[in-house]
Amino acid sequence: MSSPVPQIQKVGVVGAGQMGNGIAHVFALHGYDVVMSDLEQPKLDAAMETIRGNLGRQIRKEMITEAESEATLARILCVTDLDAFGDAGLVVEAAAEREDLKKSIFSNLLPIVPEKAILTSNTSSISITRLASSTDRPEKFMGLHFMNPVPVMRLVELIRGIATDEETYATMKNVVKSLGKEAASAEDFPAFIVNRVLVPMINEAVYTLYEGVGTVKSIDKAMKLGANHPMGPLELADFIGLDTCLAIMNVLHDGLADTKYRPCPLLVKYVEAGWLGRKAGRGFYDYRGDQPVPTR
């Protein structure tokens, strides 16, 4: 495994959800001490169970050893407040895709984290420049966008805000490399690179369903077999979370003022119903039985 970047030994991860626990896993596996925070202890407990399960999968695939798994778990400290972030050299915010929430988290962090600490957000679409401007160190603020699932996907998008300095960017490039991942640099425009291309495709697939061009099953089969995608767009939407897909489409629509980014009304309806995909048990597929069943 790679070694931590010298000036960063301890990493604070805010949020223990799907992305947060994956980010904590990857940093700890590569030798960093990690503090993972969430407001509720049961979420932290569930996150650690997920990390244990994912490490077990890596052992079975002979990617890591039992000893590396145990060392990884020992490097992760779970907390329900931010006080333990006092000696972190890097913070990764991985909370829900809401700008007000993210700004509030950074506001709470500023009195605690060291002056030299780099602040990053795992946001998939929100302006890094705007988030950075709400802190006391916009020059030490970046977007650090991991792909889902974090332990598996090799790409990390690095997004500089208008004030991000070269030293911070160079440091974060080295951090990404130390995690055994590849960095792609993106400019600070709505949804960056991956989601600027991917989520409108998903939205178009929802329109294709909404307009009756195809069923859930036929749309996903068409893109898997016809475009060689590993996962159909509606299946992928459920995996990402329909609320996240909608949030990204709204950021694109608001930020670029182009009608081609209008969220499909059916996507809005599913989110209003609370059918958010896999994490809710229902989305474009119903996951409550032995096998996923299309809901339309």
The question of whether 157 is a catalytic residue gets the answer: yes
| SS3 annotation, 42-60 | HHHHHHHHHHHHHHHHHHH
Model pLDDT, residue 227: 97
CB within 8 Å of 294: residues ≥ 6 apart? 215, 216, 217, 284, 285, 286
Q: What share of the chain is helix, strand, coil (3-state, %, to 5)?
A: 50, 15, 35
Tell me the C-alpha to C-alpha distance, in Å, between residue 185 and each of 164, 176, 189, 256: 13, 11, 12, 20
Model pLDDT, residue 236: 97
- The active-site residue out of 121, 125, 195, 203 is 195
- The active-site residue out of 97, 145, 178, 235 is 145
Cα–Cα dist 52/54, whole Å: 6
For the chain, which domains are there?
10-186 (3.40.50.720), 196-294 (1.10.1040.10)
Number of Cβ within a 10 Å radius of residue 263: 21
Helix (H) or strand (E) holding 250: helix 242-256
Tell me the C-alpha to C-alpha distance, in Å, between residue 13 and each of 28, 82, 95, 105: 11, 10, 9, 11
Q: Which two tokens stand for residue 262?
A: 């209008």
User: What does the pLDDT profile of the chain (296 residues) look like in tens digits?
Assistant: 778 988 899 999 999 999 999 999 999 999 999 999 999 999 999 999 999 999 999 999 999 999 999 999 999 999 999 999 999 999 999 998 899 999 999 999 999 999 999 999 999 889 999 999 999 999 999 999 999 999 999 999 999 999 999 999 999 999 999 999 999 999 999 999 999 999 999 999 999 999 999 999 999 999 999 999 999 999 999 999 999 999 999 999 999 999 999 999 999 999 999 999 999 999 999 999 999 999 99
The question of whether 182 is a catalytic residue gets the answer: no
In degrees to the nearest 10, what's the CA dihedral of 185, 188, 194, 197?
-130
How many Cα neighbours within 13 Å face the side chain of 269?
A: 8
137-163: b (≥16 Cβ within 10 Å) or e: bbebbbbbbbbbebbeeeebbbbbbee
- The active-site residue out of 93, 97, 157, 235 is 157
Q: Which two tokens stand for residue 48?
A: 């650690």
Model pLDDT, residue 7: 87
The question of whether 145 is a catalytic residue gets the answer: yes
Number of Cβ within a 10 Å radius of residue 201: 14
- The active-site residue out of 54, 124, 127, 178 is 124
The question of whether 30 is a catalytic residue gets the answer: no
Cα–Cα dist 31/84, whole Å: 18
Q: Is the peptide bond before 149 cis (omega within 30 degrees of 0)?
A: yes
Cα–Cα dist 54/60, whole Å: 10
